[in-house]
Amino acid sequence: MKSSCVLLTALVALAAYYVYIPLPSSVSDPWKLMLLDATFRGAQQVSHLIHSLGLSHHLIALNFIIVSFGKKSAWSSAQVNVTDTDFDGVEVRVFEASPKPQELLRRSVVYIHGGGWALASAKIKYYDELCTVMAEELNAVIVSIFAQDANLRNKLKLQALIYPVLQALDFNTPSYQQNVNTPILPRYVMVKYWLDYFKGNHDFVQAMIVNNHTSLDAEEAVAPRARLDWTSLLPASITKNYQPVMQTKGNARIVQEIPQLLDARSSPLIADQEVLLHLPKTYILTCEHDVLRDDGVMYAKRLESAGVEVTLDHFEDGFHGCMIFTSWPTNFSVGIRTRDSYIKWLDQNL
């Protein structure tokens, strides 16, 4: 009996050690966030183990785990009709609010879910629940896209960006430095997502973390760097005492092998001003505890300078991905507030 108690105590202590990470008191529901992050880290470690055994690519394995535990069928209600179909070969899930009498035209939103360009799908319950609420509250048609390579060619009235990733030039902006090990999306994971997206070598991770791919001797980075000077694009309340990380000499092989890293089509934050001025009215939601916070803030600044109407909606207690966590057991107060604020803006501007 005594040995069982000792073993149980050791297991509890080990679990607590794995779950606990130091978090600022300002983040929403910190202990719940620790548990959520521990679950995601555990799934990532299992997927990497599967990869190391040669059974499957780690992203395929991780996606299988996520879909297995989070998949939801297209279930309709009296308020919202939900169907899975395809548009020109692109798989989509469509959410249609019940039409109002004599309504001729419907508002619509094309929703592109997150997941590092590789994970989850429109069938995951978190995205399904968000789109259902959007359809009902906006009385609109929501088209949630499955595929990562879908092209949207229609003219858009507006764009609403939720903690967007907008550049791969600098992984040492103040928010990357401040939130280097923040739950859900630490810096090294974001760098790996970029490499996975472009089928790059994971041996580049450490070099990219210290900006060796955009060093001063990298000619390809000269023009983009001029458009992404965070010391001038960010306010003093954000820059604080953080210093730019700029290497004199770097690894030229990275950008030579992966030129897409500095392509404005994947990194719109480094686009020419002439390109930005053609963009529609924009909503950008950012979270304080997110490596991508400064991407959104700088993009808002650049769009405003180009004459685009921008709403920057910042949440001091938010973290990356928080908007989809609104139902038990992963319900966060900031998740509900970000969702409601996003939908309110859409309702006022669609």
Q: What confidence tier does 16 reach under pLDDT thresholds 50, 70, 90?
A: low
Q: What confidence tier does 49 reach under pLDDT thresholds 50, 70, 90?
A: very high
Residue 158's H or E segment, with its range, is strand 158-162
Mean pLDDT computed over 152-164: 88
Mean pLDDT computed over 49-55: 94
Q: What confidence tier does 316 reach under pLDDT thresholds 50, 70, 90?
A: very high
Residue percentage of the chain with pLDDT more than 90:
85
Name the pairing type of β-strands 310-319 and 281-289. Answer: parallel
User: Per the structure block, which two tokens stand in for 313?
Assistant: 């909606």
Q: Higher model confidence: residue 224 or residue 8?
A: 224
DSSP state for residue 59 in the 8-state scheme: H
| Predicted pLDDT at 221 | 94
Average pLDDT, the chain: 92
pLDDT at 11 over 90: no
Q: Are 270 and 169 in contact (CB under 8 A)?
A: yes
Helix (H, G, I), strand (E, B), or coil: what is residue 95? strand
| Predicted pLDDT at 22 | 87
**Which of 212, 278, 279, 220 is closest to 245 using CA atoms?**
212
Q: Are 273 and 308 in contact (CB under 8 A)?
A: no
pTM given for the model? 0.93
| Predicted pLDDT at 176 | 98
Among 8-12, 126-130, 256-260, the minimum mean pLDDT is found in: 8-12
